[in-house]
Amino acid sequence: MTKVAKEKDKKEKDKVEQKPRVDKYQSILKCPLTSTELLVYGSEMADKQEESNQLEEALGAIKAEFKAKIEGAGSRINELAAKLRSKSEHRQVPCERTYDYKAATVIERRTDTDAVVHSRVMTVEESQLGLPGMPEGE
């Protein structure tokens, strides 16, 4: 055999003797679920659905609570704004009513500032004087 033929024969032997290389690795691939896995996942999904529903309900309640608080704050803001615009507010104030029989009038006056709140003509019943020694209203 010639030298070239011997080298060619040797290369072919090396090719035959050379084994294929195999690398081991992991990969995520689609796999069918077993009956047990289907039951486990179904049960877990039902539990999570119930949990989700409960959380949605709780969120709704919290939203309603905060909405009421926001509305309450807004209402108070409106009350305060009205007081600031008018620079006044309505309060319980002690007053007195004076019956002036000569002028036939009734005068209502604040006792804290002595300002007249209201003045009007006496009614017929109010203009009737009681008898001396008799209690009023009889």
> What residues does 109 pair with on adjacent strands?
96, 116
| 50 plus 100 within the same structural domain | no
| 76 plus 109 within the same structural domain | no
Contact residues for 93 (Cβ-Cβ < 8 A; gap 6+): 110, 111, 112
Tally of structural domains, the chain: 2
Kindly state whether residue 4 falls inside one of the protein's structural domains.
no
- pLDDT tens, 31-63? 999 999 999 999 999 999 999 999 999 999 999
| 83 plus 107 within the same structural domain | no
pLDDT tier for residue 14 given thresholds of 50, 70 and 90: low
pLDDT tier for residue 11 given thresholds of 50, 70 and 90: low
Kindly state whether residue 36 falls inside one of the protein's structural domains.
yes
Structural domain span for residue 42: 31-89
What is the DSSP code (8-state) at residue 131? P
Kindly state whether residue 24 falls inside one of the protein's structural domains.
no
| 72 plus 115 within the same structural domain | no
| 63 plus 113 within the same structural domain | no
